[in-house]
Amino acid sequence: MEKQKIYNFSAGPAVLPEVVLKEAAEAVVNYDNHSMSILEMSHRSAPIVDMITETRQLIHQFLNVPDNYRILFLQGGASLQFSMIPMNILTDDVTADYTDTGAWSAKAIKEARIYGKVNVVCSSKETVYNHIPKDFEQSSDQVYLHITTNNTIYGTQWFEFPDANGFLVSDMSSDIFSRPIDVSKFGIIYAGAQKNMGPAGVTIVILREDLIGKSGRDLPAMLDFAIHSEKDSMFNTPPVFAIYVVNRTLHWLNHLGGIEEIFEQNKAKAKLLYGEIERNPIFKSPVAKEDRSLMNVPFIFANGGDEKDFLNYCAKRGLVTLKGHRSVGGFRASIYNAMPKEGVKNLVDAIQNYSQS
C-alpha cells in the first residue's frame, strides 16, 4: 500500500525540501565523494572551508548584501542574539528602541534591558499582538531600532520597514529568504535557521562592518562580534552540518528561480489559504488583514468548535502540526518556502470538507 504523503505545517523546526533531506542524508554517510561523513570532517579541511565559503557567497547573492557587511555563522539561536547584540552595541550614553510585536520581541526587550537603556516605542500586546503598530515616536538618542519582521506565534509581518533614527536591527528568523529585502536599510540582520532555511544549530548574522567593536565592554570571546568576524566564524568549531543544509537549501532555492520566484509562490500560497479562511463560515483569522503573515497563518473557530476533532480530521489526511501555539490556541499553518502549494491546497480542501461534514 502506498505510504500517505505528510505535509508538515510546523512553525519550527520546520519543513525542508525533500531533495535537501536526501542530500543531507547522503552527506552523513559520504560527503561529496570524500568517503567520509560530513559529521567527522575537520571544519578546517579544504572541502568544508569551501562549502562554508560558498554558503556565504550564496547569501550575498540572494540578498544582494553590500560589500561593507560581514556574514557570520554563529550558534545559540536567535535567542542568544537577544543578548549578544545589545552587549556588543548598546552603550551607556544612548538608547535602544524596540517594537513589541510578539513573544520573541518581548524576549529580546527583556534581554536588552540588562545591558542599557531600552525604550519600547510601541506594543500590540493589549490586543494579543494581532497587528503591527506603525505610528510611534523614536528616541532622539537612539542607537538602533529593533523589529521582528515576522511573528511566528501571532501571524503578523512587517511589509514596510520603518526608517530608524539610528540604524535598524531585525530578527528575520522566520521570513529570511522568503522575499526581497534591502539589506542596506539594516545595520544588523539575524536569523535562526530552523524556520525557513535549514535545521536548528546555526544562526546567520549579517552585520555592518562599522558596528563591530563599538561597545567598549570587555566581552567574552564567544560573545564578541569582533572575534567572530576576525576569525571568519572559525573561532571555534562551527555547526558544519547545519551550515551544509543551509547551503543545499539555498541551492534548491536557486534552482527554483531565486528570491523573486519564491516570493511569488509564497504570496500565492498565502492568498489561497487566507481566501478560504475568509470564505468559510466556521473559521476566521484573528489578525489585522494588512499585517497578515505570508509565513505563519493562525486561524480559529468563528463561533466555537472542537479543536481536537479538527486536528484529528486533518491528521488523518496527512496534514500535521497544525495546533496553534499554547499561548493563543486555535490553529496555525506555517507555509514556509519549502511547503509546496499542493500542501496548502490539501489543507484548504480539508477546511472546506470539515465545514460541510
294 neighbors 337 (Cβ within 8 angstroms): no
- One of 171, 175, 224, 291 is an active-site residue; which one? 171
Q: pLDDT for 272-283, tens place per residue?
A: 999 999 999 999
Which is the catalytic residue, given 195, 224, 252, 323? 195
**104: annotated active-site residue:** yes
Cell of 321: 502540526
Q: Which of 100, 104, 175, 269 is catalytic?
A: 104
pLDDT of residue 41: 87
Give the pLDDT of residue 214: 81
pLDDT at 83: 97
Q: What is the mean pLDDT of residues 27-40?
A: 93
210 has catalytic annotation: no
Instruction: Report CA 108 to chain centroid distance, whole Å.
Output: 15
Q: Which residues of 187-225 are buried (b: 16+ CB within 10 A; e: fewer)?
A: bbbbbbbbbbbbbbbbbbbbbbeebbeebeeebeeebbb
Confidence (pLDDT) at 23: 97
**What proportion of the chain, given as a percentage, has pLDDT over 70?**
99
> What is the residue-averaged pLDDT of the chain?
95
Cis amide prior to 238 (ω within 30 degrees)? no
| 244-256 pLDDT per residue, tens | 999 999 999 999 9
Task: Give the pLDDT of residue 131.
Answer: 97
Residue-level pLDDT at 3: 77
Q: Is the pLDDT of residue 1 over 70?
A: no
Mean pLDDT of 45-63: 95
Integer Cα distance of 212 and 225 in angstroms: 6
Q: Which residues have C-beta within 8 Å of that of residue 334, sequence separation ≥ 6? A: 9, 10, 11, 12, 14, 15, 152, 195, 295, 296, 297, 321
Name the CA dihedral angle for 245, 247, 248, 254, rounded to a multiple of 10 degrees: 150
**58 has pLDDT over 70:** yes
pLDDT in tens, 279-300: 999 999 999 999 999 999 999 9
**Known catalytic membership, residue 50:** no
Task: Outline where the chain has alpha helix (H).
Answer: 18-29, 46-63, 77-89, 103-112, 225-230, 240-256, 259-279, 307-315, 341-356
Contacting residues for 147 by C-beta, under 8 A, at least 6 apart:
99, 101, 105, 158, 161, 162, 168, 169, 170, 171
